[in-house]
């Protein structure tokens, strides 16, 4: 059994949608906006503090497949990211505590536009399944090309005091061949 | 064979002037010039064996993947007879791409435009409304199949070439095969892919990645310095420090065909793992202390069935860890220090597919021994993704560097600047070194990359 399958087995049962504008819905949207701010302003250690220690963070590959085989268009064997809390914190350490993380030094100028937020209750009172769209623009150096990364986040947020911790994130990207030279940035 | 001034570029520069042999320099314009790129598509990518994938990607009859040979899309398919065929993915009727997907299974590849249909072997089956004979009567069906590349499997890896009469794959690998066998032909069941490859576009000329793959040791010291700062080779990892220079010693092997291998000294790792002086240990004790990347101790008896004692000696002392297969392949069979003091081996292959003078597609396959336990494959997969390829903390720095080079190569002055390969070995092979090829020991040098360029130069200037 692969790590990704194990996660699926530990995942909560997803329940009813929580209406747009409900108190918890608004708090979750606020969390996503704040998270985008932390990542876009490269406050990576503060972002790290919002991650749950049992975090699973994955970005599957996509393949172009016929209409009849859409389930096979998401690849969860080899992926673009396949991380846990420890490895994400390692990535943050590389980016913040070395003088040679060149892929992001000088850093990209990014915007994470987060929209189409849907929140679902789960069978665990303190956990919410959150689906959102991500449109990430990335500009590097004086290059005229703006890299665009678009996808759907499937998150699991866990209540943590007044806020939330990210317990699970899977980002379903839209490109089968990524148009950015690496994913040295978090999605 | 070199023929001087076999071709003159549009501005009057002889093609043979791009590589300056006496001073080991290459004109920067080679990294961006569209005219040079067009020549490469025929003279390099039309003449050499190209990596397309692994047979474990197409295990069953009808399975196919769509890949690239240079600037051409090809269908890599397993036919009913079990053989893998590589067919040009262009309909001979009106030029439509026949397969518009990345992978699948079918016994009939049918063009969506006018319905011409082909077998996985590329043979023409027919067009719709057979009795009306859409394909006409001027050419027999046998001549309307998809053009076939010549295919070979090496350790299950699929290579193909359009050069139907040229050297065999074995001749192409030459002396380097002796070393590559220790990676790809070492076990009973061989390697498999752990999934489809990662793919991403880098706005850089394919040669920026290709020449680096020909065993550029020096870039590790600076571009990948973080490995010694906080990464796997820092104090907590390998007992090292921010200085990665101890990893730069070993043996480098190059080839008249541009293949290259960095054989990095394993002595310190074996000493750390076994607590013993490697000089005092037998081949078997060293294998036991540190099995080859991706292999378990239980699999070690397989090695002697496939490899010679001399090959095993190299594997336990100076194994090939990174390098390239000309023109655009990188292999990494690396031993990664873990936080708990153990070592995890990783086995990867990359192809850098040319997508225009200023663009390449980085294709990354993660491999494992078929026989390895699932738990090991899972660990290899996660760590491969974390260090190499798209988000890999090592290779994200490479793919961010290469895009600057075609831009530099466009400058009126920059294009006349040169890449320099002037750090020359003066050592030769270590005493008693059992392997063939052009072999040098010591701190990394530029020879392997220079030999890569010499073969590029030879192909580019060869008589048509």
Tell me how many domains chain B contains. Answer: 2
Judged against a pLDDT cut of 50, whether residue B3 lies above it is answered with no
Mean pLDDT, residues A82-91 taken together: 97
Chain A nearest-CA distance from B23, in A, is 31
Q: Do B225 and A98 touch (CB under 8 A)?
A: yes
Return the residue of A nearest to B202 by Cα: A181
Return the residue of B nearest to A2 by Cα: B378
Q: What is the pLDDT of residue A46?
A: 98
Distances (CA, A) of B42 to B38, B249, B337, B458: 7, 37, 42, 13
Mean pLDDT, residues B170-175 taken together: 98
Q: Which of A78, A102, A183 sits opposite B195 (nearest CB)?
A: A78
Strand pairing class (A147-160; A127-139): antiparallel
Which residues on B lie below 8 Å from A179 (Cβ)? 200-201
> Do B348 and B248 fall into the same domain?
yes
Mean pLDDT, residues B235-246 taken together: 64
pLDDT band for position B303 (cuts 50, 70, 90): very high
pLDDT digits (tens, 9 = 90+) for B413-448: 999 999 999 999 999 999 999 999 999 999 999 999
Residue to substitute from B57, B231, B393, interface A, most A β-carbons within 10 A: B393
In a domain, A104, yes or no: yes
The CATH number linked to B103 is 2.102.10.10
Chain B nearest-CA distance from A141, in A, is 10
pLDDT band for position A3 (cuts 50, 70, 90): very low
Q: Which of B362, B378, B397 sits opposite A102 (nearest CB)?
A: B397
In a domain, A35, yes or no: yes
What spatial distance separates the first Cα and last Cα of chain A, rounded to whole Å?
A: 26
Please check whether residue A66 touches B, CB under 8 A. yes
Long-range residue pairs from B58-63, CB within 8 A, at least 24 positions apart, any chain: B58/B84, B60/B105, B61/B107, B61/B120, B62/B105, B62/B106, B62/B107, B62/B120, B63/B103, B63/B104, B63/B105
The CATH number linked to B276 is 3.90.380.10
Which residues on A lie below 8 Å from B393 (Cβ)? 90-91, 94
Which residues on A lie below 8 Å from B382 (Cβ)? 3, 82-83, 87
> Do B352 and B381 fall into the same domain?
yes
Q: What is the pLDDT of residue B297?
A: 97
> Do B195 and B156 fall into the same domain?
no
Tell me how many domains chain A contains. Answer: 1
In a domain, A31, yes or no: yes
pLDDT digits (tens, 9 = 90+) for B11-55: 999 999 999 999 999 999 999 999 999 999 999 999 999 999 999
Give the rounded percent of residues in chain B with a pLDDT score beyond 90: 93
Residue in B50, B71, B59, B43 with CA at minimum distance from that of residue B149: B50
In a domain, A36, yes or no: yes
Domain boundary among B137, B162, B187: B162
**Token duo for residue A72:** 């096979």
Q: What is the pLDDT of residue B464?
A: 67
Give the list of residues 6+ apart from residue B73 with CB closer than 8 angstroms, or none: B66, B67, B88, B89, B90, B97
Chain A nearest-CA distance from B311, in A, is 31
pLDDT digits (tens, 9 = 90+) for B88-104: 999 999 999 999 999 99
Give yes or no for a contact between B213 and B329, defined as CB atoms under 8 angstroms apart: yes
Mean pLDDT, residues A93-120 taken together: 97
In a domain, A45, yes or no: yes
ipTM above 0.85, yes or no: yes
Q: Do B391 and A90 touch (CB under 8 A)?
A: no
Q: Do A182 and B400 touch (CB under 8 A)?
A: yes
| Ramachandran assignment for B184, one of left (phi > 0), alpha (psi -120 to 50 degrees), beta (any other) | alpha
> Do B241 and B148 fall into the same domain?
no
Q: Which of A75, A87, A103 sits opposite B196 (nearest CB)?
A: A75
Give the rounded percent of residues in chain A with a pLDDT score beyond 90: 93
Return the residue of B nearest to A97 by Cα: B230
> Do B237 and B367 fall into the same domain?
yes
> Do B433 and B330 fall into the same domain?
yes
In a domain, A160, yes or no: yes
Mean pLDDT, residues B75-84 taken together: 98
pLDDT band for position B182 (cuts 50, 70, 90): very high
Q: Which of A3, A69, A82 sits opposite B104 (nearest CB)?
A: A69
Please check whether residue A6 touches B, CB under 8 A. no
Q: Do B229 and A180 touch (CB under 8 A)?
A: no
Judged against a pLDDT cut of 80, whether residue B356 lies above it is answered with yes
Judged against a pLDDT cut of 60, whether residue B2 lies above it is answered with no
Sign of torsion over alpha carbons B34, B35, B36, B38: positive
Q: Do A99 and B397 touch (CB under 8 A)?
A: no
Q: What is the pLDDT of residue B233?
A: 79
pLDDT digits (tens, 9 = 90+) for A13-68: 999 999 999 999 999 999 999 999 999 999 999 999 999 999 999 999 999 999 99
Q: What is the pLDDT of residue B240?
A: 45
Which residues on B lie below 8 Å from A93 (Cβ)? 230
**Token duo for residue A78:** 């080899």
Chain B nearest-CA distance from A139, in A, is 12
Other Cβ atoms closer than 10 A to B83: 13
In a domain, A178, yes or no: no
> Do B64 and B213 fall into the same domain?
no
Which residues on A lie below 8 Å from B223 (Cβ)? 100, 102
A106 preceded by a cis bond (ω within 30 of 0): yes
pLDDT band for position B193 (cuts 50, 70, 90): very high
Please check whether residue A24 touches B, CB under 8 A. no
Chain B nearest-CA distance from A105, in A, is 10
Chain B nearest-CA distance from A43, in A, is 19
User: Which residue in this structure is represented by tokens 């001979």?
Assistant: B92
Q: What is the pLDDT of residue B235?
A: 65
Which residues on A lie below 8 Å from B100 (Cβ)? 64
Average pLDDT, chain B: 95
Q: Do A141 and B393 touch (CB under 8 A)?
A: no
Distance of CA B239 to the CA centre of its chain: 31
In a domain, A180, yes or no: no
Q: What is the pLDDT of residue A11?
A: 83
Domain boundary among B113, B135, B162: B162
Give the rounded percent of residues in chain B with a pLDDT score beyond 70: 97
Please check whether residue A145 touches B, CB under 8 A. yes
In a domain, B8, yes or no: no
Judged against a pLDDT cut of 60, whether residue B331 lies above it is answered with yes
* Domain encompassing residue B231: 175-460
Please check whether residue A127 touches B, CB under 8 A. no
In a domain, B169, yes or no: no
Mean pLDDT, residues B331-354 taken together: 96
Domain boundary among B162, B192, B214: B162
> Do B208 and B248 fall into the same domain?
yes
In a domain, B395, yes or no: yes
Q: What is the pLDDT of residue A8?
A: 59
Burial per residue of B271-304, b for 16 or more beta-carbon CB atoms within 10 angstroms, e otherwise? bebbeeebeebeeeebbbbbbbbbbeeebbebbe
Please check whether residue A69 touches B, CB under 8 A. yes
* Domain encompassing residue A140: 3-173
Q: What is the pLDDT of residue A5?
A: 47
In a domain, B24, yes or no: no
The CATH number linked to A119 is 3.10.450.50
Which residues on B lie below 8 Å from A59 (Cβ)? 391
Q: What is the pLDDT of residue A65?
A: 98
> Do B233 and B318 fall into the same domain?
yes
Residue to substitute from A93, A182, A187, interface B, most B β-carbons within 10 A: A182
> Do B143 and B201 fall into the same domain?
no
Chain B nearest-CA distance from A173, in A, is 12
């Amino acid at each position: 059994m692969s790590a990704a399958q194990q996660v699926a087995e530990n995942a909560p049962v997803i329940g009813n949608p929580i209406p747009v504008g409900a108190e918890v819905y608004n708090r979750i949207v606020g969390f996503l906006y704040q998270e985008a701010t932390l990542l876009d302003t490269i406050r990576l250690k503060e972002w790290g503090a919002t991650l749950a220690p049992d975090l699973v963070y994955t970005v599957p590959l996509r393949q172009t497949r016929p209409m009849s085989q859409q389930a096979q268009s998401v690849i969860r064997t080899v992926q673009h990211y396949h991380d846990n809390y420890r490895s994400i914190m390692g990535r943050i350490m590389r980016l913040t505590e070395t003088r040679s993380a060149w892929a992001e030094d000088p850093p990209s100028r990014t915007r994470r536009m987060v929209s189409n937020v849907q929140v679902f209750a789960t069978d665990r009172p303190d956990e919410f399944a959150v689906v959102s769209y991500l449109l990430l623009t990335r500009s590097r150096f004086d290059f005229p090309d703006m890299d665009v990364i678009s996808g759907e986040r499937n998150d699991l947020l866990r209540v943590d005091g007044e806020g939330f911790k990210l317990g699970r994130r899977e980002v379903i990207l839209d490109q089968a061949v990524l148009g950015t030279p690496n994913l040295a940035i978090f999605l | 064979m070199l023929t001087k001034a076999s071709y003159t570029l549009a501005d009057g520069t002889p093609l043979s002037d791009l590589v300056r042999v006496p001073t080991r320099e290459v004109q920067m314009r080679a990294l961006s010039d569209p005219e040079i790129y067009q020549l490469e598509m025929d003279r390099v990518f039309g003449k050499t064996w190209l990596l397309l994938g692994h047979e474990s990607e197409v295990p069953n009859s009808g399975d196919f993947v769509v890949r690239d040979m240079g600037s051409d899309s090809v269908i890599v398919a397993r036919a009913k007879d079990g053989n893998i065929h590589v067919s040009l993915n262009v309909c001979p009727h009106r030029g439509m791409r026949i397969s518009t997907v990345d992978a699948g299974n079918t016994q009939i590849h049918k063009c969506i435009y006018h319905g011409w249909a082909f077998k996985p072997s590329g043979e023409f089956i027919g067009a719709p409304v057979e009795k009306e004979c859409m394909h006409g009567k001027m050419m027999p069906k046998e001549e309307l199949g998809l053009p076939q590349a010549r295919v070979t499997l090496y350790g299950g890896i699929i290579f193909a070439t359009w050069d139907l009469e040229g050297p065999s794959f074995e001749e192409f690998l030459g002396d380097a095969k002796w070393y590559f066998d220790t990676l790809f032909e070492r076990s009973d069941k061989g390697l498999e892919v752990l999934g489809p490859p990662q793919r991403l576009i880098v706005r850089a000329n394919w040669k920026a990645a290709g020449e680096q793959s020909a065993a550029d040791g020096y870039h590790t010291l600076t571009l990948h310095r973080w490995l010694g700062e906080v990464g796997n080779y820092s104090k907590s990892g390998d007992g090292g420090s921010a200085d990665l220079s101890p990893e730069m010693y070993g043996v480098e092997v190059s080839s008249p065909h541009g293949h290259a291998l960095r054989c990095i000294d394993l002595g310190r790792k074996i000493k750390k793992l076994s607590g013993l002086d490697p000089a005092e240990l037998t081949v078997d004790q060293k294998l036991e202390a540190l099995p080859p990347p991706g292999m378990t101790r239980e699999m070690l008896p397989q090695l002697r069935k496939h490899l010679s004692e001399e090959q095993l000696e190299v594997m336990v002392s100076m194994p090939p860890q990174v390098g390239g297969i000309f023109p655009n392949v990188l292999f990494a069979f690396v031993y990664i220090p873990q936080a708990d003091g153990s070592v995890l081996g990783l086995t990867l292959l990359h192809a850098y597919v040319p997508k225009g003078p200023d663009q390449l597609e980085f294709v990354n396959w993660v491999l494992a021994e078929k026989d390895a336990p699932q738990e090991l494959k899972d660990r290899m997969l996660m760590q491969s993704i974390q260090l190499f390829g798209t988000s890999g903390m090592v290779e994200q720095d490479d793919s961010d560097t290469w895009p600057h080079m075609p831009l530099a190569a466009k400058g009126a002055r920059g294009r006349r600047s040169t890449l320099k390969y002037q750090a020359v070995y003066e050592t030769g092979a270590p005493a008693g070194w059992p392997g063939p090829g052009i072999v040098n020991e010591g701190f990394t040098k530029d020879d392997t990359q220079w030999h890569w360029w010499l073969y590029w130069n030879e192909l580019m200037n060869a008589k048509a």
